[in-house]
Amino acid sequence: MKDLTDFKNKNVLVLGMAKSGVSAALLLRKLGANVTINDLKAEQPEELTGNLKKHQVKMILGSHPEDILSANQISLIVKNPGIPYTNPVLVNAKKNQVKIISEPELAYLVMDSELIGVTGSNGKTTVTTLIQMMLDGEQKAYAAGNIGIPATTVVQKALKGDRVVMELSSFMLAGIDQLHPHIAVVNNIFSNHLDWHKTRENYVNDKMNITKNQTVNDYFVINWDNPEWQNLAKRSKATVVPFSRKGLSKKGAYEQEGGLYFQSELIMKAKDMGIPGEQNIENALAAIAVAKIEGVDSAHIKQVLSTFGGVKHRIQYVKSFNGRQFYNDSKATDIEATQVALKAFNKPLILIAGGLDRGDDYDRLIPYLQSSNVKEIIVNGQTSEKLKVMARKAEIPVIKESSRVGESVKIAYADSAKGDVILLSPAAASWDQYKTFEDRGDEFIDAVKKISEENGRL
């Protein structure tokens, strides 16, 4: 970590607690700043508040006071990525020309190692994890960011010569100023979080901030299988390295006749990967491109891809028993992610879906349900009625409703036969019933475990 004096005696407001906010506050204290942390939620875990008190961080909890900036003479705000810029504190800050940065931006300002940034609507956690595993060796590689590990924590232990592979959400990228990855990856761009970004154009522009500070000495790795994404590559000043599952470009990583290649070199057969599905082939190609840019040996790349079992909550294989296979794809918080999951299987399938209603058109799932072997759908949450209507249009033989994911698992097992896949892939966010998609996925895993204990394993 760089020994910066830029923050010494500066009055800084950290807006939003959670793990990243606390990590940012503690880093700022280490750098000599006077730190105030503010969160709407009054009740916070003792392990967080105790640590902040120990390091003399001022806490203002339960509201966003109108005078918080003037009362604390704030000259810089480090905000939680999920807090929109329409927040009154941020609106007031802009009006008074108080600088606003995000937690990943703060991490970048102090980091002394190489940065690899990864974004995309779907698959970015898997890509981040694969890259970290491929690069980790004598020189360490760390995963950080939206993957659930605060970047400001990781950069304090990453040394010069190490790499930090940072998963960057559109929320994180919305406020980028100086953040500059040596390698930037765009896995794909669909239409997500429009309730926050307001328009698709805003969403795309925020995603593309990942490359805005890159130069000709950097690399921009992008999915080449969509004309829009090909055009977006023209915005980057960096060297473009494409990856293509459809083999549309052979200048980077691509699939051809079941083989995964980088330029003309065969890395491995796609069928030998440890995780199923077309989306994971794309994820693997993105990671291969980065690894080859960094000079990683092909044998090591193959070893990682053949043994990698997937990221928790992303088409995660949970277990098999009594001839059934259970997969947890709770991270499928949009329709596109569930489309990807359905394409990953060719066995008879019982789908568990549903969650927060964001006004999406679920008819977009119909061709995927019809082309997959979906024999039953079990719905829950706010989108239940929409999903039932859609399932009837798709002529799904059995349509049922449950109160929660755990109950859905019980129904699915009772209705299943040997050879079936039982898949949780909600096509919706979790916030109608669960705090996070992780909580929803954990309920699925716990329910599967309970059923396996009650029914025995074969």
Residues in the annotated binding site for ATP: 120-126
Backbone angles phi, psi at 63, to 5 degrees: -165, 170
Q: Considering only CA atoms, which of 175, 180, 176 is closest in space to residue 164?
A: 180
**Are 77 and 98 within 8 A, CB to CB?**
yes
Q: Which residues are annotated as a binding site?
A: 120-126
Buried b / exposed e along 268-305 (16+ C-beta atoms within 10 A): bebeebebbbebbbbbbbbbbbbbbbbebeeeebbebb
**Are 243 and 282 within 8 A, CB to CB?**
yes
**Are 382 and 432 within 8 A, CB to CB?**
yes
